[in-house]
Amino acid sequence: MEEKIEFKTVSKISEGSFKEKGSKFIAYCIPFIEEESLKTELNNIKKIHPQARHICYAYKIGVTKVKTRANDDGEPNNSAGTPILGQINSFNITNVLIAVVRYFGGTKLGVGGLVTAYKTAAKEAILTNTITTEVLKSTFDIEFSYLHLQQIMRLLKANGAKIISIDQNNMDRNLLQFEIEHHIATTLMNQLKEHLIQPI
């Protein structure tokens, strides 16, 4: 059995804010696992803040293979997205998106002031969230004969797997998707293969 892999992430959407010389920075900390949903999340924030001058963001996804991105949305290079990402890394969390909305107050803050503002707003949003420690899980699809159904269910239960969906079409070709802790996956898949059940 492989070693259990744990990671920290956030459990809900939370907010944080920071004000400086008339400018207001509002941060949103959002659970985030798919890059494809980035546009939707940003559009949701734009609907709430249609008059905002900038919406800068950073995200981090993945556990064994980590992907990050930082965006300054028109602010000076590395004055917004990078400080936001820095807070994500500082709290050692993943699968998270932090977007910070800025309302300009009429006075320029300078690069140093912007770094402090975006960093502080992002930090406040994280602090108002709940950070949880989770175990890395993997999802599998298997195809099986109806005759093996009871064996499969017994093996899944014994290994603590969670059934996501099951599609029973006929006697010989049925589909099942399940989720299991990553470190147990190899053991379970070997057990299934012993019963001539193959992943697809």
Domain boundaries of the chain, sorted by first residue: 6-134, 136-199
pTM over 0.85: no
Instruction: Specify the 3-state DSSP secondary structure of 1.
Output: coil
What tens digit of pLDDT does each residue of 179-200 get?
Answer: 998 888 888 888 887 765 655 5
Query: What pLDDT, on the 0 to 100 scale, is given for residue 142?
Result: 86
Instruction: Specify the 3-state DSSP secondary structure of 167.
Output: strand
What tens digit of pLDDT does each residue of 108-120 get?
Answer: 889 999 999 999 9
Complete edge-to-edge strand list for the sheet that includes strand 174-181: 162-168, 174-181, 137-144, 198-199
Q: Which fold has domain 136-199?
A: Alpha-Beta Plaits (3.30.70)
Confidence class of residue 130 from pLDDT cuts 50, 70 and 90? very high
**Per-residue burial over 170-200, b = 16 or more CB atoms within 10 Å of its CB, e = otherwise:** eeeebebebebbbbbbeebbebbeeeebeee
Decide if domain 6-134 falls under CATH 3.30.230.30. Answer: yes
What tens digit of pLDDT does each residue of 140-167 get?
Answer: 888 888 788 888 889 999 898 999 998 8
